[in-house]
Amino acid sequence: MSEKDPFHLDQGSSFSTLKSNVHAIKSVASIVEVTIGPKGLDTMMVDETGKTLVTNAGATILSRMKIDHPVAKMIVKVARAQQEKVGDGTTTATLLTAALVEEGAKQILRGVPTQKVIAGIEQGMDFAIKKIRESSYVIQGLEDEWLNRIALTASRGNEDLTLSVIDAAQMIGMEKLINKKFRLADCVVAHPQADSIVFMGIFIHQSRINPQMPTYKKNAQILVLADSLEPELLTEEALQTEAGFAKQEQLIEEFVNICKKIVELKIGLVVTAGSVHRIAEEILTDAGIMVVSHVDPQNLIRVAEHSGARPMKRNGLHNSLEELRSLLGSCEEVEDDELLHWVRISGGKGKELATILVGAATEEVVEERERICKDTASAVQAAAREGFVPGGGAVELAVACELEEHVHKIRGLERYGISVVAEALHKPIYHVIANAGFNPLEKIEIIKRNQKSTRSFSLGLDCDHGAVSDMIELGVVDPLSIKINALKTAIEVSTTILRIRNTVQMQSTKLSFCLRRANS
């Protein structure tokens, strides 16, 4: 092969790509493994400009790490998938994926057919998921003390964040919390100059467009415009004719009438997705109406939902006053916080929405607190939906012991894949113990003996004292759905990686298109 051959293969081994992939994934996993558990450490990330970020969030580390290896980039997708689906457990999902790939590769290199290893991994994971579900506990309402413990664990002991998330959950109610379309983590916002609060309502991350507009409105009608508040403008070419100039004057006059109609409706707040023309700004300012422009789609939808307004396009403003009134929302209070430069809307007649405002001394600290608060919100919501299991890696270790017994009943080569899952399930508690400063090999064997003798799925390690303890009694638990999703994500990505045997460089799509155009 020539040096420019796109097939980058090691001629010395048909498994060179597999070995390379294992090495790359282990390197990435080693970065986040030190962050897991109550004694996990932080990672400092530095960019090209010297800006630093200190965090122990697996998702943050993986998403911002500079990674060149193509398969290592798949681990980033593991974290992203876990974060998007359940909002927490990214480090566990990453460690499980890396362990499944490493242990699976060992069996393949021993001569076990890849498909048999993968089939065994799938069987073993099905067994593990079933056992973990059987060991779960159900949340008994939003007053259940377990929600507080889950929140405290997820917040890494930040009591203020724990209380904020629990307060928000109770404000919203169980019915909304278990709704799959609702994400409690979306209610978390952060600002470095703010005091941490929880309230029923929302923030628009913009300020009013004119400082002469009022900063506070009570019992305000709200108009949500998914458009710009601008007159229709003719082209320069059209304006050069007398008819065109007259037409433009007519359009301006119509626009002025629309602005007067908004005033006549006694609207207190106008929220627009686009810009606001100076004519509208002047008329609405004189009328004492607050206007917020260039609001992003997500915030626009939240304003509409909370106030009960129906978003409309600019053409809809030509409707009659009665028709427009039916499209307006309302709220008890609108306030432009001049310190935060955000507009706060509370007491809307539409959907009840809570906001958790997280504050801190600096931007770096507030970003980390926001991330922790979002993880806490995700954990609380996940537990409310599907319950929880013993944490600290205890339940994974107990299932691993069950798999080690189960594998002896399997006669086919799939048993090697099942043993891969059993070995991988040791990893979470292994790193939790190591990060706490104890010998993981010694402690794991002691815990396993105790689990087998008591048939308990909840025995783990007290990371403060190094003693075998019941995680349920210690209040160390994890939401079931986060645990299950981590297992499912890990198996999906790891089996994909284990199937890879060659890495081939693709030609540029743009270059290929240009060559086809040239040939035609």
Task: Quote the pLDDT of residue 516.
Answer: 55
Q: How far apart are alpha carbons 419 and 71 in whole angstroms?
A: 24
Distances (CA, A) of 50 to 46, 47, 53, 213, 324: 6, 5, 10, 41, 53
Give 166-200 pLDDT, tens digit per residue. 999 999 999 989 998 888 999 999 988 888 899 99
Give 217-238 pLDDT, tens digit per residue. 999 999 999 999 998 877 777 6
- Where does CATH 1.10.560.10 sit in the chain? 16-137+389-434+476-498
519 has a pLDDT exceeding 70: no
209 has a pLDDT exceeding 90: yes
Task: Quote the pLDDT of residue 346.
Answer: 94
Give 419-459 pLDDT, tens digit per residue. 999 999 999 999 999 999 999 999 999 999 999 999 999 99
Q: How far apart are alpha carbons 507 and 190 in whole angstroms?
A: 44
Task: Quote the pLDDT of residue 509.
Answer: 57
Q: How far apart are alpha carbons 348 and 254 in whole angstroms?
A: 31
SS3 of residue 456 by DSSP: coil
- CATH code given to domain 197-359: 3.50.7.10
181 or 490, which is more confident: 490
The vertex-85 CA angle with 498 and 375, nearest 5°, equals: 115
Q: Which fold has domain 16-137+389-434+476-498?
A: GROEL; domain 1 (1.10.560)
The encoded tokens of residue 139 equal 């949340």
208 or 15, which is more confident: 208
* Contact criterion met (CB below 8 Å) for 401 and 452: yes
Task: Quote the pLDDT of residue 517.
Answer: 56
- Where does CATH 3.50.7.10 sit in the chain? 197-359
Give 125-165 pLDDT, tens digit per residue. 999 999 999 999 999 999 999 999 999 988 888 899 999 99
